[in-house]
Structures are given as structure tokens and as C-alpha cells.
Chains A and B, each alone.
Chain A
Amino acid sequence: MTPTVELSGLEVTLGGRRILHGLNGAAHSRAIGLLGPNGAGKSTLINTLLGFHPPSSGTAHVLGLDIRAQCNELRPLVGYMPENEAFIARSTGIHFVRYMAEISGLPPDLALERAHEAFVYVGLGEARYRPLGTYSLGMKQLVKLAQAIVHGPRLLILDEPTNGLDPPGRKRLIGLIREIRQASDTHLLLSSHLLHDVEQTCEEVIILREGRIAAILNLEEERRANRRFLEMDVIGAGATFTSALEALGCECAAFGATRLKVVLPPGVEIRDVYGLAAKQDVRIRRLNYRRDSLEDLFLNAMEQAGAPNGRI
């Protein structure tokens, strides 16, 4: 299967400063998240994949196409929603999106038709004839999405799409992105520093730190493999309760007489723990159940030390 994004020793130097340090790796999923703290190189990586920054060494393949040699073949397949404000001065929404569609190669009549469709799709149908200058920030984000999808690209690159949006706006945009992912075979590359957005929309994440790849994780696999934790405050639990839990296959750690941390193995459920506690007359006063979240994975990746070859 062709990877959606494949990085082969990709190195980018801008203004005399090396931003990306020989990145290596591949992401195969249809929806890929780019995660990293501010300044990690997410936007630079996106700009490089779009052909805006020439790599100083190495290369990358997007949808199997080399970003250096096959840039012309790649660009018609890509829809890009930039992070910053981007529009054409003194134009209405529909004029702007139609213009972008025509630049992408759609004939004028079809461009107009699809511009209307894109506007309705993103939920701005009523505002399409208004000048862009009068749009709110949330509307501008949606217009940027409309121009990115108007020409029906195979790969949608979204750079911080929820920046500056209020919670309802953010929810709506995330919903649209998920819908695009589910309704077609479109690939998605979403850059964000908001873990929740990525978690909700992506199947695989590339975590960047200081211009290096900290981790490439398949979220589904991670979720499946993730450990589940129980944190309990108990009264009356002795060594026998701990031994019984270990007999079920759990890993236990006791903190004092009342606090217990338990790692559940696959196949053991919380009800089994309750059953065991009832049998041994152990009173559970508090139980907190959680599993490794993207946040844990991200923080884990951030804490790990650096390593050569673009990987940490």
C-alpha cells in the first residue's frame, strides 16, 4: 500500500537555520495528524510537502509522488487550508471560492457550481454573496475550508484549522472534517497543537519535536494496545487482596495502606475487581478508571531523549 506521506531524510534549512533535521518515516493512514508544540516544525513540514520550501537534502513522497520531481502532478491532488488569514481583497465569498476553483483547473461554469456547493456544504450558503472582509473569524475559517475542497482534492492539508474558533465553531469544523474523511476516500493531513482535534479526526499521528520526529503512532493500534488503569482508595485491603488481583493477571502497586494502583490485563474488567473486593470484604471508597490517552502518548514522546536520523 502506498504511504500517504513518506519522509526520506527530509531536511529543510530556512534563513540559515535548520528547521527539519533529516526526517524519516511513513504514515499510511487516510487521516494523519501532525502534532507538536509550537515551533516543532509542523507548518514547515506542511509547506515543504506543498513545495513552498525546497528541501536542503532528502525528499518526501505524498500519495506516492515525489515532492521534488513530481510537484506538478501532486498539486492538482491537494487542497490546502492555511493557518493564517488568506483571502482576496474586495471579493465576495463566492467570487473568491470560484476563483480558486478556476485556478485549480475547473472550467468557469463548473467552478461556479462547485463554489456554491462548497459554500452550502460548509454551512455558509446564506453568506456567500457578502464581502469577505465582513466575515467573522469562524466564517473565514469555513471559507478557507471551502476553497480547499472546492476542486475535490484527494488530499486535504489543514494547518491549524480550529485556530481562533469558539467551542461550537470548533465542534462544527471538526464535524465537517470527520464527515469529509468518512464520506469519501479523501486523505487528510491535519496539523494542530490541540490534541483533542487530532484525536477526533485522525487515525495516525506524526509527533514532531524540535524539527525531529518524536513518534509515529497509529491511534487505533495504540488504543487497542493501551493499558487500562485503576486507581483506588480502599479500606480493609491487605496482601491477600493484592495477591488475588495479581492472580487475575493484574499488576498492582500499593501506596500506603489505602491507595492502590492496578493495571488491568486484557480480558479483566472492572466488575471482576468489584467481585473480588466484595468477596474479601474490601470497601472501595473511590475508583478512577482511565486508559492511555493521546495526551499520555504525546507527553511520553515529548519526554524521550533525542536520537540521530531524524527520530527521537
Chain B
Amino acid sequence: MNRIVLLAILIYIVLLAGIATLNGDVIGLALPLVLYLLAGLWRAPDELNLTAERTLSEERISPGGIITVTLAIKNHGAALEQIRFSDPLPKFLEVIGGSSDRLVSIPAGGEFTWSYTVRGKRGSHTFKGIEATTSDILGLMKKRAHLSAPGQVLVLPGLVRVRHISILPRQTRVYSGNIPANQGGTGIDFFGVREYQIGDSPRHVNWRVSARQSNILYSNEYQQERVADVGIVLDGRHSLNVFGHDMTIFEESVKAAVAVSTSLLAEGNRVGLFVYGKRSKWTSPGYGKYQRERIMHALAQAETGEDQSFKSLTIPRRLFPPDSLIILISPLAGEDLKLLGSLRARGYQLLVISPDPVSFETRGLPQSRSVELAQRILRLQRETMLRELRHIGIQVVNWDVSIPFEQIAQSTLSRPAAWMHSIRRGVR
């Protein structure tokens, strides 16, 4: 209830009771209340006339890095007896020194500068401004203003280094890289022999084969190594990633996305990223360090959510033509089989890195017979689903997130699965 109105009601009641009963003592009781109200009027704040400026010691940091935020407020109006400044911060930033809220008084024409330090987990935040609320000392009258003080902070995801991720896409690009293309040419690994052509190096002539033929020379061909188009799809569906008590497996998926994209870009591939979550967004494919920066930005901003139906996920053909490799990083749900099957049918080669939600969730639960039973049922369902995915030619990495991704990548992704060779050649 409005404090001034409450006081006024009380003063009316006391005065009217005093008049009605002709009791001077009762009227006298209104005196402290009236004085309290007058004290509010005496130094009531005028219109706020403030400007603010924000300075950030860093604009982009790694997780755990520290940023000092300095705010300078200038009062161009009358003196302010009591003003509260509040700089709203997102959840991922934690104040470790100073305070983002201050309650101070500023003289007319005066300035107030303060700093606080924050430490952050992964995320991106655009500072829009400071909320200023001034009031008289007794807090009867309030005036609010929003002071513009823009700024942006980016806490990049933690870097996970994976030496090499072996992929065998059916289609490669024209530029040379590290991925064995299904074509003979210059390279290192033996691919086959062909008839000698003028210009072939004598060192490449296969004398043993040539000796068996009359008048024809044969040259060795080597497997060409090229770069490929790779699309990474990061699944941030809230229902799959977030469990009770704010436990989220999404951070593990982000780690995997960082590792995979960094490794593939370092090998010269053309990598794009699609984050499905609160704000679904494509980062168009590109090469090199600049693309790595773009992907890291997108991953820093990735949040779980349900933007649109995951079932309607489509891969833009102009970005990733069929035969491109799509890496889906997702805890997976049963209904995803249909989507993945249709992507496979459209010719995309799929690699699914699936952080295991069953082991992740059960680690946070108390051990009991019912939990154990539920875990066994869920694990069976998941195993069945993963088996079906493998059956339709999708490479699946089931990742127990208690094991670092580097180890998983080393053991399962550093060389292609044997059966991938046959898939690549179109043999089932």
C-alpha cells in the first residue's frame, strides 16, 4: 500500500476522532504523523538529471576470468539525499568484489564513481543501463530513472583441445586438407594405379605392375586429402538438457562443440554451427580463425530453450549440400530417430555425439532400488535407440560425461570406425 496514502488515512482518522469526541489529546496524537509526512515533503527529490558512463576492464574473458566494471554517475540536477543505483547482472556473472547496488547521496553537480568486479561462467551479456531510484530519507516519495550505460561482456566457453577428429565425409571440397578424399591424385596413402601420363614423376611409376604389361607404364596414384563441409548442430532443448535443481548437461554439449569445431577448423575444414535452443541460430560455414571466433561467440550465447520444433529441423542445402557431414551433439530423445533417419535419407552423413543423460542424472540422485531400476530401464531404452541409429548408418558416440571429452574423442573419434569406410563407398 502507498505509504503516503496510509499515513493520510491514519491522520484523517485521528483528527476526525479527536473532533468528534472533542478530545485534544487525540488530536495531539496526529502531530507525529503529520510531522513525518511533512519531513517527506521537506526534502522530496526533484526530477532526476543524471548521466552515466560505464568502463569495462575486459570485454571478453575465458571462464573464471575477472572483469572490473566501473560506473561514473554525474548529477546535473539538485542534490539527491538518497539514491539507489542498481546495475542488473545476468545469472552467469557473479560479483566477487564490491557491489552492483549502491545507496548513496550525491550533491548538486556532484559525481559518484564506483567499481565492482565480476567473474563469469559461459555467457554473453549486454549491459543496457543502470536503474536509479531516488527518495527522501524517510522513503515516502520515490522517483525512478533508467540511465543509459551500454556495454557488453562475453564469457567464452572453456577451451577443450582435441588433437584430431577423424571424419570420412562422402563429399569433400576442392581445397587440400587432411581428409582422405575418395579420389586418386597427389597425397600420401596409396590409392591405386593408372596408366602413365606425361608429366608423372618417374618415382611414381609402379615398375612391378608395368613389368607385367607389355609396352604400357603404370603410375601409382595416391589418395587426395582435402577439406570438407561440416555442420555442427548443438541441441539445446530445455526438456532434454535441464534436470531438476538446475542440473544441466548442456554445458558438456557446449564443451564438445568447442572441441569438435576447433579441431575441424584447425585442419582447414569449412565448419558451420547451428544452435537449437532459446534463440536458434545458424552460424554460416567458414574457414579459419575468424570462423572459430564466430563459433565461439555463438557458443558463448547458447542457452537452452524451445524455440521451434526440433522435429522440423532442416539443414539449408545452400550451406550444406547433401553428402556433407553433420555432427549432432545432443542427449537425444526417442522421437529424434525419425528426424535423423530423414536427414540420413537426404544423403547427409551423420555423426552423433550424445552426452549420456542417464548416467548424468542418476549421479545427482540418491541411490535406491527404485532409482537403480529406473536407471536400468532408461539405459536399455537408450541402448536400443543408439543401436537403431547405428543400424541406419549413423556413427554414434555415447559419452558418459564423467569422462573428459578429450579422452572420448581420443578413443572413438581419432580414427574412423572401420564400418564407415564401407558406408562412404556406398556399400551397406
Whether chains A and B associate is no
Where the two chains meet, the residues of B that have a C-beta atom closer than 8 Å to any C-beta of A are: none
